[in-house]
């Protein structure tokens, strides 16, 4: 998860998020090179007293500074489109979870099971135990098996919400009356935090998301316990 004074992204916990981090670094290097070139040209133009008469009216330079930006945009667009299509791919999911946004909590339903669902509320600050995070902990975590394709169905019951977990590279709007779909694979075990990312009212800041990725055996034990308690 994020830590104080962090400048970059959270550590990736899914293949899609790793691709997004690589694309961010790729685009940032291009921006850095463009900025360096522009800064050099500005300093050169301001500081020199000489004038090159061939630069004042040069067809070759106009061709270069027209074609070069187009080439740079293509270099950025191709990997961007590739990741965009990767994020839309949902191939044979092992588990489907439906997340419903409410004012102001999330409810989860494991549709592959007959009666497995629960509401997830934020734990109030006064009830936190040592080591838990303020405004991020919930009374029920969304538990999923690691290294398995998970399909998320996201909707809302009242107003617009957004189900987002940065470490997994997932963000999907929850729209009343509409069922949106996304997918992720947790590549390692861990607890991953997110929050509603669409302003949804007075307590928008108080409906966190906690995804716990565990080995498949532990997930089966957890689901059996939840079904017994239901």
Domains of the chain, CATH where assigned: 13-86 (1.10.287.90), 93-227 (2.60.40.420)
pLDDT at 3: 82
3-state secondary structure at position 155: strand
Question: CA 46, CA 39: separation in Å to the nearest integer?
Answer: 11
Residues 6+ apart with CB under 8 A from 147: 185, 186, 187
pLDDT at 230: 64
Share of the chain above pLDDT 90, in %: 77
Question: CA 89, CA 130: separation in Å to the nearest integer?
Answer: 40
| Torsion of the alpha carbons at 132, 135, 141 and 144, rounded to the nearest 10 | -100
What pairs with residue 138 in β-bridges?
A: 122
DSSP character at residue 188 = S
Report pTM: 0.85
Q: Name the residue among 106, 98, 132, 97 with its Cα closest to residue 204.
A: 106
Q: Contact 92/199 with Cβ under 8 angstroms? A: no
Q: Contact 145/214 with Cβ under 8 angstroms? A: yes
DSSP string, 81-150: HHHHHHHH---S-SEEEEEEEETTEEEEEETTSSS-EEEE-BPPGGGPPTTPPTTT-BSS-EEEETTSEE
Give tens-digit pLDDT for 5-59. 888 898 999 999 999 999 999 999 999 999 999 999 899 888 888 777 776 677 8
Give tens-digit pLDDT for 190-230. 999 999 999 998 999 999 999 999 999 999 999 999 888 76
pLDDT at 40: 94
Overall average pLDDT of the 62-74 stretch: 92
Question: CA 13, CA 185: separation in Å to the nearest integer?
Answer: 8
pLDDT at 4: 84
pLDDT > 90? residue 62: no
């Amino acid at each position: 998860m994020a830590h104080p004074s962090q400048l970059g992204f959270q550590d990736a916990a899914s293949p899609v998020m790793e691709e997004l981090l690589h694309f961010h670094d790729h685009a940032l290097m291009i921006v850095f090179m463009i900025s360096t070139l522009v800064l050099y040209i500005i300093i050169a133009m301001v500081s020199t007293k000489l004038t090159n008469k061939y630069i004042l009216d040069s067809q070759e330079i106009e061709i270069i500074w027209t074609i070069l930006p187009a080439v740079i945009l293509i270099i950025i667009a191709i990997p961007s489109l590739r990741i965009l299509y990767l994020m839309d791919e949902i191939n044979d999911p092992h588990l489907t979870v439906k997340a419903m946004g409410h004012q102001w909590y999330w409810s989860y339903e494991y549709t592959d099971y007959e009666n497995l669902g629960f509401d997830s509320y934020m734990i109030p600050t006064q009830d936190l135990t040592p080591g838990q995070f303020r405004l991020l902990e919930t009374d029920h975590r969304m538990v999923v098996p690691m290294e398995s394709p998970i399909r998320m169905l996201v909707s809302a019951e009242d107003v617009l919400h957004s189900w987002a977990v940065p470490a997994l590279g997932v963000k999907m709007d929850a729209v009343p009356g509409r069922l949106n779909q996304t997918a992720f694979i947790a590549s390692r075990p861990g607890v991953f935090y997110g929050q509603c990312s669409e302003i949804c009212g007075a307590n928008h800041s108080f409906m966190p998301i906690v995804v716990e990725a565990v080995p498949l055996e532990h997930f089966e034990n957890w689901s059996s316990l939840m079904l017994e308690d239901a």
